Structure 1
Amino acid sequence: MLGDLSGMMNKLKEAQQKVEETKTRLNTVLVDEVAADGKLKITLTANREIKSISIDDSLLADAEELEDYLILALNKAIEKATKINEAEMAVAAKSGMPNIPGMDMFK
């Protein structure tokens, strides 16, 4: 029994390490979203950190329109990044989880 517990603890540590490695790797996965016929471009990481926003000068004339485009593009980019993040984190967590009866939520 003690050997099983030790093995499970090691597996949990491995899972935690894989999750941390995945978080670090997701900082290098970039998600782009383009709006307003290419006049607005947003880039963020799969960890949902905004890296850049590029705005064409023609959008600067109408603040309300620009705000609308920014909101739409940011929400779409965040949604894409979240899907990538959740899928990658689930894989990382599942791959290192020990086989504990009743704990099959990651399958």
Structure 2
Amino acid sequence: MFGDMMNMMGKLKETQKKVEETKKRLDTVLVDEQSNDGKVKVTLTANRTIKSIEIDDTLLEDKEQLEDYLIITLNKAIEKATNVNETELAAVAKEGMPNIPGMDMFK
């Protein structure tokens, strides 16, 4: 039993290390999004850090319209990045779960 417990602890530590490595890698995964008409384009990492924003000059004339464009486009980009982030981290966590009786709900 003690050996099994040590094995599980080792596997959990290994999984934690893989999760941290995945988080670092997600800083390099870029997600692009743009408004329907292409007037606003944003790029962010899968960890939801904004890397760039491009705005068409025609939007600079109307502050309210620009704000609307930014909100919509950034929210779509954040949703995409969140989906990538959660999928990647869930895959690593699932892969590293030790086989604990009664805990197969994570599989």
Task: Give per-residue Cα distances to partners, 1:5-27, cap 9 Å, x unaligned.
Answer: 10000000011011001101111
Contact preservation (8 Å) 1:48, 1:82: yes
TM-score calculated relative to the size of structure 2: 0.95
Match of 2:72 in 1: 72
TM-score calculated relative to the size of structure 1: 0.95
Tell me whether 1:17 sits opposite 2:17 in the alignment: yes
Matches within 5 A, 1:1-107: 1-35=1-35, 37-107=37-107
Number of aligned residue pairs: give it: 107
- The Cα shift of 1:38 comes to 1.4
- The Cα shift of 1:36 comes to 5.1
Distance 2:102 2:75 in 1: 36
Percent same amino acid at aligned positions?
Answer: 73
Distance 1:59 1:36 in 2: 14
Q: Which runs of 5+ in 1 are unaligned?
A: none
Contact preservation (8 Å) 1:15, 1:94: no
Distance 1:106 1:48 in 2: 26
Task: Give per-residue Cα distances to partners, 1:39-97, cap 9 Å, x unaligned.
Answer: 21000000111111111111100000000000000110000011111100000111111
Structure 1 range deviating more: 32-41 or 44-53: 32-41
